[in-house]
Amino acid sequence: MLADRQPAGFGLVQRERQVEAYRDPLAHYERRPNLWVEPIGDWGAGELRLVELPAHTEYQDNIVALWTPAAGLTAGVEARFAYRLHWGSEPRAGASARVTQTRLETGATPSRRRLLVDFELPDGLRAKMLTADVRSSSGAVTNIALASLQDRRIARLSFEIDPASNRVAELRARLLRSGEPCSEMWLYRWTA
């Protein structure tokens, strides 16, 4: 579960589109569409939940992303949610930098974890133009750094999380240009 207020969008996105990644000539996972939900109006506070349902075979699609209002729903009381659905092989087009890879390593001390998040940059955007906005629901975020990789097409964000005595931390990160978001919001739930 990832807590949020007034989400701009959410969904299930499969970025790997190479046949070699799946090697399944029957199910063709590389062709499966993505679905992005764009909320319309005030959805308020709530949680994005990713649910894996039991499945008897690998061919049953069993992953669901859904929004749950913080206030809950009351039986017999009408609730309305307006939204647009965007289907396709890629999320909605835009000039935003997109996350391509996440890695987790041991940090400077055994109790800390270091995260590396790679963002693919659109034409004209370079890491030196950007700052990183990194937040955690618990513990402390330290050693935030942003560097260029692969001929400046990739911006690598690195940082450490010191969870202290917490066993769960919801992490968020995005890139900013002149204080304005210019990337997807990266979300990660770290658990001990």
pLDDT in tens, 73-124: 999 999 999 999 988 877 665 558 989 899 999 888 888 899 999 999 998 8
Asked if residue 103 belongs to a domain, the reply is yes
**Is 169 in the same domain as 127?**
yes
Kindly state the DSSP code that residue 31 receives in the 8-state scheme: G
Total number of domains constituting the chain = 2
With beta carbons less than 8 A apart as the criterion, state whether 33 and 60 touch: no
Q: In this predicted structure, what is the pLDDT of residue 116? A: 97
Asked if residue 93 belongs to a domain, the reply is no
**Is 177 in the same domain as 104?**
yes
pTM (whole model) above 0.75: no
Q: What gap in Å lies between CA 152 and CA 102, rounded to an integer?
A: 18
With beta carbons less than 8 A apart as the criterion, state whether 50 and 67 touch: no
Asked if residue 45 belongs to a domain, the reply is yes
How many other β-carbons are positioned within 10 Å of the β-carbon of residue 163? Answer: 18
Q: In this predicted structure, what is the pLDDT of residue 164? A: 84
Asked if residue 148 belongs to a domain, the reply is yes
**Is 102 in the same domain as 183?**
yes
**Is 18 in the same domain as 102?**
no
Kindly state the DSSP code that residue 2 receives in the 8-state scheme: E
The helix (run of H) or strand (run of E) holding residue 65 is strand 63-69
**Is 9 in the same domain as 33?**
yes
The encoded tokens of residue 183 equal: 């990337």
Give residue 178's domain range.
98-191
